Structure 1
Amino acid sequence: MTHKLFYFIILLSSCYSVIAQSHTVQSPSGEIKIEVEVDDVLTYRVFFKGEEIVAKSEIAFSIDNGMTFGKDAKVRSIKTTKISKEIHPVVPRKFNLIKDEYNELQLDFKGGYSLLARAYDEGVAYRWVSDRTGSYTVMDETVTFNFKDDHSIWFPEEKQVYSHQEREYLHLKLSDVTSERFCSTGTLVVLENGIKVYISESDLVDYPGMFLRGSDKNPHALVGKFAGYPLEVLPKGDRNAKVIKHADFLAKTQGKRNFPWRVMVVAANDGDLILSELIYKLATPLQLDDTSWIKPGKVSWDWWNANNIYGVDFKAGINTETYKYYIDFASKYGLEYINLDEGWYQSGDVLNVIDAIDIQALVNYGKTRNVGLILWVTWKELDENLDAILQQFESWGIKGIKVDFMQRDDQWMVNFYHRVAQKAAAKHMLVSYHGAYKPTGMRRAYPNVITREGVMGMEQSKWGFDANPNNDLLLPFIRMVAGPMDYTPGAMKNATKHNFRPIGKEPMSSGTRCHQLAMYVVFESPLQMLADNPSNYHRETECMKFLSEVPTIWDDTKVLDAKLGEYIALARRSGEKWFVGAMTNWTEREMQLNFDFLPEGNYTLKIWQDGVNAHRYAADYKMKKQSVRKGDVLNIHLAPGGGWTAIITKN
């Protein structure tokens, strides 16, 4: 080698080290691209059909030895991977088969860390990976979503990180979101050209959850906010434990590990949001060897309706006779479970059942009628005696637990969710999380985590907030993107916008009867509640013909028509049957449903539709039948806050 060539190589290497390096990965279709730029700081940009939709945004990750992943980064190696595979969910939500196709960019850096960036046809995601050994502390993570313009945002605002994440979606401009304001995720940014960017996270394991706040640097940006590691907790009563002192770091961890995915679902059409399974695809794969015992289904629930049983010869309440009545109802209509909510045990001691309840007798009675029991419990009491409680539940023959009031997503609490999921699975028990943070894909690893709250649901109608049709028509496009939501539908006492009143002991719902029925097709929850009381359902035999037949998991989903916050019409298949659900906000409207999704043949359409007077008496509905074939177009009418639903059976 000549001296000139040697010096030229040295000079070239020196120049290369100071010039920013750009690395890109495109989705399989080529329409979506994420570009990572390595300079003195690490940044990314997102493009859709060549247009920049997320501007240059800084990301970083700092640990306790003073090192910051992404700062003055030196690329050690670059790897790209193309993946095309199929996922067969143990508990389907939208589809019984999910195509998992993406291209991945892996940048390995000097210093023992990597950045993974994936591009799907439905969005992009990135995550940090540490190759370190031993114990270390995560001090902070910089997460930024920069936008060029003052787009609108649907913003579930929080006042504190101690939250059950049941928030109303405020419709704001990005510039309204100052650095003092923050929200839980997911949130939805709507660009002026109609493109939507849904922001959340997936595979949240051993790490705090992400909130989003405004930025001091850019009025059109969102930045990550995290709860610090909990140092001091103030217990209050049987269910609350508020962190009163957080550490100035986020997490204690060790060894080589992955950190959560930062996810951006990109939707050209509103219906694309409804079909997304990106959060699920990015999550940890199945961790259970045996899943044969996991049984989705419908649940008769006591708490919302305040046990307002009537027309019986016993005194209704939290007692054995009342729950036998629930079991008889569930058995008659093919419901798989009943849920005993708050009050079945002495507060402060889960294993101290009240005198009026005989759990073992109820389990035995349910077995004779093919109905299982799910028991409510506060997280705090469960945590204090987890093994003994689950052991007793297993001894009784309990099928699942409803864990409530966590209201945190710091690292400790996130680990609690995983610990309960694992131990409940070992006892063959389902888990429903209430008072919970949003789904982040845990149900893929632990499909016994069958549903969760984290939603402004119908329970809110018992007090101040009216969980009304305007709210209902946002949920499928925002909250439901993350995963199943336990909205708890099924009210048989229905009210118009002007007649609704929050009455805790005799609750009602906003919107029409058919709006409630349509929720069982539109809203996804593999463990779906029937929230009203059996006495009301017994009087509504035509509605029960639908509620007894509608499933809670789906083989296929089609969006027939959808507009964020205004209306939705979905067709879902279970086996050979199709179910259609349509809902509107408070605006009365006409819709056209095209049945081109049907295979060839003749079908019978069994319909439940708003009655002619549903605009003034919300419980008014009409049931009818008609024939339908592939390609037929049906005009339907929805009252204000209305709905429409149907079962399609091949002749």
Structure 2
Amino acid sequence: MAVPIRTAVAGLCAGLVATLLITGPAQAEPPHDQVWAVSTSAHTPRARISLDDTTGTLSLAVSRDGRTVIEPSPVGIVTEQADLSKELRFLHRKDRRIEERYRTKSGKRLDRTVRMNETRLSFATTAGARLDLVVRASADGVAYHYVLPAGHGDVLGETSAFTLPPDASAWLSTYRPDNEGQFVQYTAATAPTGAYSPQALFATDGGYTLLAESDLTGAYSGARLTHDQGTGTYRVKLADDRVRTDGSLSTPWRAMVTGDLATVTRSTFTDDLAPASKVRDTSWIRPGTVLWTWLAGGREAGQSLAAQKAYVDYAAERGWPYEAVDAGWYFKPDEWDTTDPNWQTNSWMPELVEHARAKGVGIIVWIHQRELDTPAERAQWLPTLERWGVKGVKIDFMDSEAQSMLQWYDAILKETAAHHLLVDFHGSTIPKGMQRTWPQVMTLEGVAGEEKRTNTAAHLTALPFTRNVIGSMDFTPGAFQRVGLRPNSDAAETGLAVTYESGLQMYAGTPESYDARPLARAFYDQLPAAWDDTRLLAGRPGQEAVLARRSGDRWFLGGVYAGAARTADVPLTVGPGKWLVETIKDGTGGLVQDRQVLRGGDTLRVDVVAGGGFAGIACPWRPGLSTCHR
């Protein structure tokens, strides 16, 4: 849960903050100046909100160090009762400083510090309809949302949009309800006409900017971006033509994560915007690595108790804390005998859970969303899984961000927390702050992951700067047996378990494929699934991504590259002193390992094959130290 350090609200302190950091009108209704700015310091992102005196329309622009991040872009919302995108007049402003510390159970780093300035601008139409525009700015982003009083009626849409310079580089994913599109590079203007994922990355002279959402719940509707080729404008379109409302409304945050590429990659801005944890006791929530059996054995393995016990035994030998049982382990609904106390399963799941418990392994089970669709179904399934001792659920095939499905998410999040079940969502939305509010959510798919057979190396190198910025991503690396079905080398595949962050890092290989690659297997044996810190060592979206993640005093390294073979030069910016660095790379006969001692800040040189990469560990060096493995 968040622990406030200080929250300064309207009054003397807020007035002083506003005087120093927020320019604009000092009186309630200034006669000429209709411009407000919000930032935390001179060198951080600066939001500029403007009210056109003639049309009464609002726009918002973002800059950093005087350079363009987002050009002036429309702001507004339309309801049944009023068009709150035009003919607005300014009423008043309220400012406050937000400072918080909170701790998560998974993610890029466990301990988080939040420092934001917030400005709340109140407007009204000539007919008296009210709109509050709330804008927040931090060192790594700008966000805004709308607050409406009761009586505004259902929401019919937003006029919100983001306008980029036409020549801005853009990495976009064609919109899909399951968020499983590939990221492709365009410019802002040349991207084809169509709908795109709301998580879109742009590069301007002000640095990189990732568009995102936060605090999306069943009170509203999910969004996508729509674009007409030839322009740099990306408009917000809701999943529902009508968003049902009851009483007052605070819409989700429209967020712009911005800074240099390292800042964007490391950012927790969308989590920082989200509500504090609603789970009081989080002691049962434990991230970890998982042996996942679907790509290893498919439905046939899911139907076999003997196969699942063998997978559990392998996970136990490796020290991997979880094993996931995918589709096939329970009967179809029309085959259930509800007079049987084990009616949800073909009766062997409790036996498997007990076998795994004795070995120190927790069981995660796959389940289709349709089995959990109603309160009655959830009341049958969730207590039963908890009683058996199942540790978590992988829920699949939501495939929607419509308001009705988001309301289902609201229910299942509350109920899985009550039954102490970890959660992995597939065919799903993306986190959007969910993991701060509901820390039992260890990971979500929402990505074109390892199961896809059309992924490109460029897509793999774009993900750390796009989808994985938002929160944990269940890409399921480690599918070594899928040679020819994945675009990368074995060394790159090994490193993906670090390059991609996931609170449940599900390894997608077969035991035989790990045993055939003992260096990769030993590397996976060392990997945690929760991190004390994350740093980008080198990166260009669509070309290369090298990340370092710290656990204790060790840094784990993962690099993935697109294009031709090369010698990669990676700055070892993991701290001062000497470091023993072990790297796993592709050799002529398979994976090979190098060891060298480098100083912090030195260049780590790694030979990379075409579509390749590497994995590594850096630990503080001392005389006589021969390995980073423990």
TM range (shorter): 0.7 to 0.9
The structure 1 residue matched to 2:493, chosen from 516, 527, 534, is: 516
Instruction: Summarize the alignment of residues 513-552 of structure 1 with structure 2, pairs less than 5 Å apart.
Output: 513-552=490-529
Structure 1 stretch displaced more, 23-32 or 580-589? 23-32
Matches within 5 A, 1:273-352: 273-307=264-298, 318-348=303-333, 352=343
Instruction: Report the counterpart of residue 16 of structure 2 in structure 1.
Output: none
Change (3 A) 1:353 1:322: farther
Name the counterpart of 1:69. Answer: 84
Q: In 2, Cα distance between the equivalents of 1:445 and 1:54?
A: 29
Corresponding residue for residue 608 of structure 1: 584
Residue 145 of structure 2 is aligned with which of 127, 130, 146?
Answer: 127
1:147 to 164, 170, 191: 164
1: distance between equivalents of 2:350 and 2:164?
58
- Preserved contact between residue 424 and residue 442 of structure 2 (Cα < 8 Å): yes
Aligned 8 A contact 1:112 1:132 in 2: no
Which residue in the other structure is 2:36 paired with?
A: 23
2:257 is aligned to: 265
1:426: Cα distance to partner? 0.2
Q: Does 1:647 align with 2:623?
A: no
Q: Which of 209, 212, 217 is the aligned partner of 1:200? A: 212
Distance in structure 2 (CA, Å) of the matches to 1:581 and 1:534: 22
Cα deviation for residue 524 of structure 1 reads 0.6
Take 2:167 and 2:580, find their aligned partners in 1: how far apart are those partners?
Answer: 49
Does the 8 Å contact 1:185/1:438 carry over to 2? no
Matched residue, 2:186: 172
Match of 1:118 in 2: 136
Would you say the 8 A contact 1:494–1:512 is kept in 2? Answer: no
Percent of residue pairs identical: 29
TM-score, with structure 1 as normaliser: 0.84
Aligned partners of 1:50 and 1:422: how far apart in 2?
A: 44
Answer yes or no: is the 8 Å Cα contact 2:548–2:557 preserved in 1: yes
Q: Return the alpha-carbon distance in structure 1 between the equivalents of residues 161 and 548 of structure 2.
A: 37
1:575 paired with 2:536, answer: no
Which residue of the other structure, out of 392, 396, 406, is the alignment partner of 1:400? 392
Q: Structure 2 regions of 5+ residues with no counterpart?
A: 1-25, 337-341, 623-630
Residue 214 of structure 1 corresponds to which residue in structure 2?
Answer: 227
Query: Is residue 545–residue 560 contact of structure 2 (8 Å, CA) maintained in 1?
Result: yes
Whether contact under 8 Å (1:202, 1:260) holds in the other structure is: yes
Could you give the per-residue CA deviations for residues 20-56 of structure 1, whole angstroms, max 9, x where no partner exists? Answer: 6111112334432111112311211112211333222
Q: Match for 1:87: what amino acid?
A: Y
User: Which segment drifts farther, 325-334 or 621-630?
Assistant: 621-630
The residue that corresponds to 1:438 in the other structure is 430
Matches within 5 A, 1:91-106: 91-106=105-120
The CA deviation at 1:278 is 1.0
Q: Report whether the alignment pairs 1:56 with 2:72.
A: yes
1:534-566 deviation per Cα after TM superposition (whole angstroms, max 9, x unaligned): 233234333211101111111012222111111
Equivalent position SS for 1:136: coil
Instruction: Compute the TM-score of the two structures, normalised by the length of structure 2.
Output: 0.87
Matches within 5 A, 1:429-578: 429-461=421-453, 465=454, 467-493=455-481, 495=483, 500=484, 502=485, 509-578=486-555
Looking at structure 2, the residues matched to 15 and 556 of structure 1 have their Cα atoms a distance apart, in angstroms, of: 44
Q: For the residues of structure 2 that align with 1:64 and 1:383, how far apart are their CA atoms? A: 30
Distance in 1, matches of 2:78 and 2:520, equals 56
| SS at structure 2 position matched to 1:510 | coil
Offset of 1:418 from its aligned partner?
1.9
For the structure 1 residues 583 and 52, does the alpha-carbon distance in structure 2 shift closer, same or farther, using more than 3 Å as the test? Answer: closer
Spell out, residue by residue over 1:86-114, the C-alpha distance to the aligned partner (whole angstroms, 9 max, x if none).
2322x131122222112111112344431
Listed one character per residue, the Cα deviations across residues 147-200 of structure 1 (whole Å, up to 9, x for unaligned) are 343433222113xx6x2110012323333446x511122011233x37222112
* Structure 1 match to 2:97: 82
CA distance in 1, matches of 2:445, 2:252: 21
For residues 518 and 379 of structure 1, the distance between their equivalents in structure 2, rounded to whole angstroms, comes to 32
2:626 — aligned with what?
none
CA deviation string 1:381-426 (max 9, x = no partner):
2114112110111111111111111110011111111211110000
The number of equivalent residue pairs is 580
One-letter amino acid of the structure 1 residue matched with residue 111 of structure 2: L
- Residues 470-506 of structure 1: per-residue CA shift (max 9 Å, x gap): 21101011111111110000022364xxxx2x4xxxx
| Equivalent residues of 2:291, 2:324 under 8 A apart | yes
Aligned partners of 1:327 and 1:366 also within 8 Å = yes
User: Which one-letter code corresponds to 1:426 in the other structure?
Assistant: A
1:209 deviates by 0.9
SS class of match (2:154): strand
Q: Which residue of 2 aligns with 1:10?
A: none
